[in-house]
């Protein structure tokens, strides 16, 4: 879950509104150098853990390209970063989603006002008309996909078609929490840019800015230490007893495939009925646990069947968690379902 989707008392801005990038200087330099060479790849797959700034970097690049349409101009050649003045008309238009040269593909609300669980094919087909329309004065069209992991199969195929024959002066910035799981045909048409988890000091700085706290706040420091380089995770852990709940979940995960129904009942009660921060902390713990298992066992062919089961379970858990959050369903059935599937997959 990205930082902006963690509903707390903290009002976290959308990445398109975020003008400051913490960390990722090497990745920013790679994008800038590629652009001012005049031969930038038309599609980039920006991968890394959740909540570390991938979408923020994507929008930062989009603003820069839309502001400086000529990569060989003196302004671009002298630039030391992708930053542009927040008061610039391009920055203001991108922030409110009104720039004619930018298209964003992300999950949206359905007709009932409920957040969809995937990016649909109809939304993805907007890219065809978008890139077929008259170019902006600078000649650039930029599409940010946040995230490519959330494209349903038909949507992924629709995106692939336009990636296969990209129009002139088009730039695709695909954000992914799990780039290795993106369709190989999409991967092959992108330049890969992997972002590392942030340092603790960077998490503290970013979280302090998002919350209006001082960097010396002990609670903020504790959350940053436990966040493993993710600002989104630090923001989640700042909410109520989320850190304790995450530790409790980790203890139960460590005992798998053994499951204690009494402990699951207690965990379900701790999640409450409408606490989205607690739910985010629970799902984040499960997500990290599965990712660690997949990475640890990924180099052994003997573990392939178990890895396949875990990957399948991961997808089911993600869908179940989204349904629980979007429809505000009871948490306890989700807890039992998650641990039941994980116990079966790890036996």
Residues 234 and 273 in one domain: no
Residues 171 and 34 in one domain: yes
- The segment with the largest mean pLDDT, out of 52-66, 97-111, 173-187, 280-294, is 52-66
Asked if 99 and 93 count as a contact pair (C-beta separation under 8 A), the reply is yes
Rounded to 5°, the CA angle 43-47-51 comes to 130
Is pTM, for the whole model, over 0.75? Answer: yes
Q: Is the pLDDT of residue 146 over 90?
A: yes
Residues 185 and 85 in one domain: yes
Give the pLDDT band (50/70/90) at residue 285. Answer: confident
- % of the chain exceeding 90 in pLDDT: 54
> What pLDDT is attached to residue 151?
94
Cα separation of 56 and 149, whole Å?
17
Sequence-distant (≥ 6) Cβ neighbours of residue 42 within 8 angstroms: 163, 166, 170, 171, 172
Q: Which of 180, 213, 239 is the last residue of a domain?
A: 239
Residues 100 and 177 in one domain: yes
Sequence-distant (≥ 6) Cβ neighbours of residue 149 within 8 angstroms: 176, 177, 178, 181, 182
Query: Could you count the other beta carbons within 10 Å of the beta carbon of residue 111?
Result: 5
Q: Residue 258, class by beta-carbon neighbours within 10 Å (0-12 exposed, 13-18 middle, 19+ buried)?
A: exposed
Mean pLDDT of the region 85-114: 92
Which residue segment(s) compose the domain that 163 sits in?
3-194
Cα separation of 77 and 36, whole Å?
6
Asked if 47 and 193 count as a contact pair (C-beta separation under 8 A), the reply is yes
Cα separation of 90 and 67, whole Å?
6
Residues 299 and 223 in one domain: no
pLDDT tens sequence across 235-257: 888 865 777 888 889 999 999 99
Q: How many separate domains does the chain show?
A: 3
Residues 252 and 147 in one domain: no
Q: Which of 160, 178, 194 is the last residue of a domain?
A: 194
Residues 265 and 342 in one domain: yes
Which helix (H) or strand (E) segment holds residue 43: the answer is strand 43-47
DSSP readout, 168-201? TTEEEEEEES-GGGS-HHHHTTSEEEEPPPPPHH
Q: Which of 194, 229, 250 is the last residue of a domain?
A: 194
Residues 177 and 206 in one domain: no
User: How many secondary structure helices (H) and strands (E) does the chain include?
Assistant: 16, 5
pLDDT tens sequence across 163-221: 998 888 999 999 999 898 899 999 999 999 999 999 999 999 999 988 888 888 888 88
Residues 185 and 270 in one domain: no
> What pLDDT is attached to residue 239?
62
Strand partners, 102: 142
Peptide bond into 257 cis (omega under 30): yes
Residues 114 and 170 in one domain: yes
Residues 61 and 181 in one domain: yes
Cα separation of 321 and 5, whole Å?
13
Going by their DSSP bridges, the two strands 102-105 and 43-47 should be labelled as: unpaired
SS3 118: coil
Share of the chain residues as helix, strand and coil, in percent rounded to the nearest 5: 55, 10, 35
DSSP one-letter code for 212: T
Residues 226 and 247 in one domain: no
Structure tokens at 144: 């940010």
The residue among 195, 226, 227, 224 whose CA lies nearest residue 208 is 224
CATH code of 56's domain: 3.40.50.300
């Amino acid at each position: 879950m990205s930082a902006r989707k963690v509903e707390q008392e903290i009002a976290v801005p959308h990445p398109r509104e975020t003008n400051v990038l913490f960390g990722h200087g090497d990745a920013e330099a790679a994008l800038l150098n590629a652009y001012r060479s005049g031969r930038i790849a038309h599609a980039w797959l920006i991968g890394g853990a959740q909540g570390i700034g991938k979408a923020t970097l994507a929008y930062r690049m989009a603003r820069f390209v839309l502001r400086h349409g000529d990569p060989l101009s003196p302004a671009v050649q002298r630039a030391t970063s992708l930053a542009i003045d927040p008061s610039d008309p391009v920055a203001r238009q991108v922030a409110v989603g009104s720039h004619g040269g930018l298209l964003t593909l992300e999950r949206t609300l359905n007709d009932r006002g409920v957040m969809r669980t995937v990016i649909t094919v109809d939304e993805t087909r907007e890219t065809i008309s978008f890139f077929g329309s008259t170019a902006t004065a600078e000649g650039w069209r930029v599409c940010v996909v946040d995230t490519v992991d959330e494209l349903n199969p038909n949507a992924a195929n629709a995106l692939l078609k336009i990636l296969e024959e990209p129009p002139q002066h088009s730039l695709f910035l695909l954000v992914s929490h799990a780039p290795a799981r993106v369709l190989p045909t999409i991967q092959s048409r992108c330049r890969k840019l992997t972002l590392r988890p942030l340092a603790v000091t960077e998490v503290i700085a970013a979280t302090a800015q998002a919350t209006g706290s001082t960097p010396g706040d002990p609670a903020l420091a504790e959350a940053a230490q436990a966040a493993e380089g993710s600002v989104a995770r630090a923001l989640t852990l700042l909410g109520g007893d989320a850190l304790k709940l995450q530790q409790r979940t980790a203890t139960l995960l460590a005992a798998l495939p053994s499951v204690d129904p009494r402990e699951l009942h207690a965990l379900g009660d701790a999640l409450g009925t409408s606490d989205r921060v607690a739910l985010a902390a629970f799902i984040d713990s499960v997500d990290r646990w599965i990712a660690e298992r997949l990475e640890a066992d990924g180099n052994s062919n003997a573990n392939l069947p178990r890895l396949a089961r875990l990957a399948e379970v991961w997808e089911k858990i993600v869908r179940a968690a989204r349904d629980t959050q979007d429809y505000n369903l009871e948490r306890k059935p989700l807890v039992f379902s998650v641990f039941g599937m994980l116990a079966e997959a790890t036996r």
